[in-house]
């Protein structure tokens, strides 16, 4: 995440409003008025035709925040209050992880290439000569070119060959950001996410300029469990060190104030991951394996399983820190609901594969809960974690952190080469596919793979900006 844009701010604002209504026991009674409150008559709207369209978008954006998606609407007259009632009573989560709000997804171009008025109508017409479909036509009066989009296949050959750079490439932001081609338009111009291809990296979530893409939240399932008096344990990812410019113990205190039974650092599980992964790596190298990659990034694991199966045999079989933390938590609280708290959408998918973890909450959602419940972490008492995790375990949150932890654990007992692949762009996905097929091209024995640039501290569902988060993280890491 490079910057905190308005889409993120609006999404968090809406969730905060919903949580405040829940906290005041007014969610069902007052949610139907929320779109009107957020967009009153004659208010100025951004990117919509009118206030009525904006209100419709507010309504549909509330659905994934309450754990639904557009497929749950069978009658357009069903009010938000009915969905709120269902959200507070359900006992089963939706299967899909992400969704597109079709009411909000309607403004991106369908075509990728256009000829601008910079076209000089030249004699060479290199664009037309390069086009494999004869899709470029010329105005008989001005000789300027235009693309017949009914037959254009968006191959880009005209763009590459125009000597005047008069042809522009207009990407669809979400499609452009997806490293595995999992999101495409339907015949109505609405994007759809193919979860058989999706790796849940979350890049599309924040790249959509209209905020039409959502992860399906579990916030109200978690809050309802707490309200019912059940034991609910928060397992907080090391990246929390990047989220607030206060001592981390105060953040833990604020999390406890929500009503969680206990707070356990996922860095504790990272210590187990480090020990097991180091032993596995040493064993593989002794057996003559060409290389081994890390296994703690769930988006990378999804990529390998869905798009690069030949790579799977080179991935460490060691489980992620979340898994080992859940084992620790389950032993201490056998009947509790376990909630992973972090910056990652792909953790939702990993949790579905792991019976130990019940829910996943993002840092963005956590911040909305603080605001919605009026929790000021500066005023909450400090919560000291009983178990002290070592610094290298907290280092898992940033790129290079897993490698550093393994090297520290090895302690110079044996030498190895290492490389880092981050973030998972189209180019790097292609690179990893090559490594799986041609191990001889791999530049190192130990490869750390992270889906997000800079690591988990820049995950798609953080609440702060990357630069601010990195500074805070480095400061807090030094205290470990």
Superfamily of domain 229-477: Fe-only Hydrogenase (Larger Subunit); Chain L, domain 3 (3.40.950.10)
What CA–CA distance (Å, rounded) separates 110 from 256?
A: 48
Asked if the model's pLDDT at residue 153 lies above 80, the reply is yes
Query: Are 251 and 144 a contacting pair, CB within 8 Å?
Result: no
pLDDT of residue 184: 92
Q: Is the four-CA dihedral 278, 281, 286, 287 of positive or negative sign? A: positive
- For the chain, which residues make up each domain, given as ranges? 6-106+178-217, 113-171, 229-477
Beta pairing class for 191-193 and 183-185: antiparallel
pLDDT digits (tens, 9 = 90+) for 28-48: 999 999 999 999 988 887 777
CA 399 to chain centre: 16
Q: Residue 3 pLDDT more than 60? A: no
Per-residue model confidence (pLDDT) at position 97: 97
The pLDDT value recorded for residue 154 is: 87
pLDDT at 10: 87
For residue 4, what pLDDT band results from cuts at 50, 70 and 90?
Answer: low
- Read off the pLDDT of residues 397-444 as tens digits, 9 standing for 90 and up: 999 999 999 999 999 899 999 999 999 999 999 999 999 999 999 999
* Under 8 Å between Cβ of 335 and 355: no
Strands (E) in 116-268, as ranges, are: 136-138, 145-147, 167-169, 183-185, 191-193, 213-215, 232-236, 262-265
Q: Phi then psi for 232, rounded to 5 degrees?
A: -130, 120
Cis ω before 423 (30° cut-off from 0): yes
Mean pLDDT, residues 89-110 taken together? 89
**Per-residue CA distances from 161 to 55, 118, 121 (Å):** 45, 14, 14
pLDDT in tens, 165-222: 999 999 899 999 999 999 998 877 889 999 999 999 999 999 999 999 999 999 999 9
Residue 1: band (very low, low, confident or very high) from pLDDT cuts 50, 70, 90 = very low
pLDDT digits (tens, 9 = 90+) for 161-181: 999 999 999 989 999 999 999
- Confirm if 238 and 397 have CB atoms less than 8 A apart: yes
pLDDT band at 2 (very low <50, low <70, confident <90, very high): very low
Mean pLDDT to the nearest integer, 283-301: 97
Burial profile 267-289: b = 16 or more Cβ within 10 angstroms, e = fewer: bbbbbbbbebbbeebbebbeeee
Task: Answer whether residue 9 shows pLDDT above 90.
Answer: no
- Of the ranges 79-83, 106-110, 144-148, which one carries the lowest mean pLDDT score? 106-110
- How far apart CA 52 and CA 274 sit, in angstroms, is 53
Is residue 392 predicted with pLDDT exceeding 90? Answer: yes
Q: Give the rounded distance of the alpha carbon of 392 from its chain centre.
A: 24
Q: What is the average pLDDT score of the chain?
A: 94
Cβ-contact 152, 164 below 8 angstroms: no
- Please choose, from the candidates 326, 265, 328, 272, the residue with its C-alpha nearest in 3D space to the C-alpha of residue 295: 272
240-263: b (≥16 Cβ within 10 Å) or e: bbbbbebebbbbbbbbbbbbbbbb
- Matching CATH topology for 113-171 and 229-477? no
φ, ψ for residue 443 (rounded to 5)?
A: -80, -5
**Length, in residues, of the chain:** 480
- pLDDT attached to residue 303: 98
Percent of the chain with pLDDT over 90: 85
With a cut of 80, say whether residue 380 has pLDDT above it. no
Residue-wise pLDDT tens digits, 314-368: 999 999 999 999 999 999 999 999 999 999 999 999 999 988 999 999 999 999 9
Q: What is the CATH number of domain 113-171?
A: 3.30.70.20
Q: How far is CA 456 from CA 179, 284, 480, in A?
A: 17, 27, 18
Please tell me whether residue 137 adopts helix, strand or coil conformation: strand
d(CA 409, CA 393): 11
């Amino acid at each position: 995440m490079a910057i905190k844009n308005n889409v993120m701010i609006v999404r968090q604002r809406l969730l905060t409003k919903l949580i405040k209504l829940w906290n005041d026991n007014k969610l069902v009674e007052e949610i139907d008025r929320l779109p009107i409150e957020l967009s009153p008559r004659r208010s100025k709207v951004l990117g919509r035709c009118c206030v009525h369209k904006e209100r419709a978008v507010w309504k549909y954006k509330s659905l994934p925040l309450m754990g639904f998606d557009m497929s749950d609407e069978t009658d357009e007259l069903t009010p938000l209050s009915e969905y709120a009632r269902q959200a507070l009573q359900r006992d089963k989560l939706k299967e899909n992880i992400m969704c597109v709000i079709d009411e909000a997804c309607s403004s991106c171009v369908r075509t990728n290439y256009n000829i601008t008025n910079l076209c000089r109508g030249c004699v060479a017409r290199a664009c037309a000569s390069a086009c494999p479909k004869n899709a470029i036509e010329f105005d008989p009066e001005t000789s300027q070119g235009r693309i017949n989009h009914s037959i254009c296949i968006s191959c880009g050959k005209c763009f590459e060959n125009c000597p005047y750079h008069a042809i522009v490439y207009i990407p669809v932001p979400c499609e452009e950001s997806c490293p595995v081609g999992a999101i495409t338009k339907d015949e109505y111009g609405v994007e759809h996410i193919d979860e058989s291809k999706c790796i849940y990296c979350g890049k599309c979530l924040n790249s959509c300029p209209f905020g039409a893409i959502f992860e399906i939240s579990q916030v109200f399932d978690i809050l309802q469990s707490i309200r019912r008096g059940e034991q609910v344990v928060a397992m907080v990812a090391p990246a929390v060190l990047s989220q607030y410019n206060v001592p981390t113990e105060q953040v833990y205190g604020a999390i406890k104030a929500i009503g969680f039974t206990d707070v356990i650092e996922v860095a504790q599980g990272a210590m187990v991951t480090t020990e097991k992964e180091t032993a596995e790596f040493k064993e593989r190298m002794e057996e003559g394996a060409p290389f081994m990659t890390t296994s703690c990034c769930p988006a990378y694991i999804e990529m390998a399983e869905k798009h690069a199966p030949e790579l799977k045999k080179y991935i460490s079989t060691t489980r992620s820190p979340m898994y080992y933390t859940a084992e620790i938590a389950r032993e201490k609280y056998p009947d509790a609901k376990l909630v992973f708290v972090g910056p990652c959408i792909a953790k939702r998918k990993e949790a579905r594969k792991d019976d130990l973890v019940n829910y996943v909450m993002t840092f963005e959602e956590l911040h909305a809960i603080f605001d919605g419940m009026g929790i000021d972490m500066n005023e909450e008492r400090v919560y000291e974690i009983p178990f002290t995790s070592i610094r290298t375990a907290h280092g898992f949150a940033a790129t290079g952190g897993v490698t550093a932890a393994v090297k520290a654990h090895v302690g110079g007992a044996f030498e190895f080469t290492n490389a880092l692949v981050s973030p998972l762009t189209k180019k790097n996905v292609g690179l990893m596919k090559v490594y799986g097929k041609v191990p001889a091209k791999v530049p190192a024995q130990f490869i750390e793979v992270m889906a997000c640039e800079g690591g988990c501290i820049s995950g798609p569902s953080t609440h702060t900006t990357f630069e601010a988060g990195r500074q805070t993280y480095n400061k807090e890491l030094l205290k470990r």
